[in-house]
Amino acid sequence: MKTLLILAGSLCATTYAGAQEIAPVKTTFEDMEVVLNQAGFESYAYDLSSFLEGDTRYDVAIRIKEYDGGKELDNDRVFHLGPTRMLLNDIPEEYRAEIPDSVMLDSERGILRESGRLVLGRYPSGVDSVARWVFHLENGSRGSSRIDLKAVVTSGNSPFYGYESRPFVKSGFESGKFIPLIFFGSMWYDAQYGIFRFCGESEIDPDLTTGMIVKQVPHFYVLGVEFTAKQGATE
């Protein structure tokens, strides 16, 4: 009996010493991003620093295109966010004297501000049939847009609103050219397995002719940007 008790005690000690431990750690932003994405928040950021090289300035505009049944609809929405570089001369002459040098980025060159970053994001609207997207040009304007969603209706089920996003493959720049950034489309119903899907490539081809997602999605939006060379270079 004594030998048995000693052995049992030894096993307990060995088990305790080798036990795995879950140690609490401080939550990071990456951890919170998982939660936010699950709740319907997401964001895409873009570096525009290359547009600040040289003297050419560009007007920045977000354009949203809608597609239904694979066809583009004639209802584009455009949101002007301002220039990549704002000059003192962009301000009406009667107000220029009121702007102190201390608030200017470069008073000698007459530069008020520069915008080297663009952010597009989505947040829950609180309504199943509506999505809300926001746009922000660093040191510039902000904008937002209500986007109407279309339900997928299947036999015996309630209308289903489920939209996901994907980034586009990087495309070349040309002044005034529409550059697609984000694909935002409806999930589709897989009748064979009785589930809704949004699976396939992780990036969308800008020509919208290849890939599983583009071919299957019944309704989608393309959010993109246009950079148009602005008259009047940096002085």
Across the chain, what does the average pLDDT equal?
89
222 vs 210: which has the higher pLDDT: 222
Compute CA 141 distance to the chain's CA centroid, rounded to the nearest angstrom: 17
Distances (CA, A) of 166 to 2, 9, 32, 124, 200: 67, 57, 20, 17, 10
Separation CA 48–CA 210 (nearest Å): 28
* pLDDT above 50: residue 15: no
pTM: 0.85
Predicted confidence at residue 18, as pLDDT, reads 58
Separation CA 186–CA 122 (nearest Å): 15
Alpha-helical segments (H) within 74-179: 93-96
Burial profile 89-118: b = 16 or more Cβ within 10 angstroms, e = fewer? eeeeeeeeeeeeeeebeeeeebbbbbbbeb
> pLDDT tens digits, residue range 59-87?
999 999 999 999 999 999 999 999 999 99
Separation CA 10–CA 171 (nearest Å): 66
Predicted confidence at residue 38, as pLDDT, reads 87
11 vs 52: which has the higher pLDDT: 52
Predicted confidence at residue 5, as pLDDT, reads 43
- pLDDT band at 187, cuts 50/70/90? very high
> pLDDT tens digits, residue range 96-152?
989 999 989 999 899 999 999 999 999 999 999 999 999 999 998 999 999 999 999
* pLDDT above 80: residue 11: no
* pLDDT above 50: residue 211: yes
Separation CA 202–CA 208 (nearest Å): 14
* pLDDT above 60: residue 45: yes
Mean pLDDT of 178-194: 94
Q: Is 70 left (phi over 0), alpha (psi -120 to 50) or beta?
A: left
Predicted confidence at residue 232, as pLDDT, reads 61
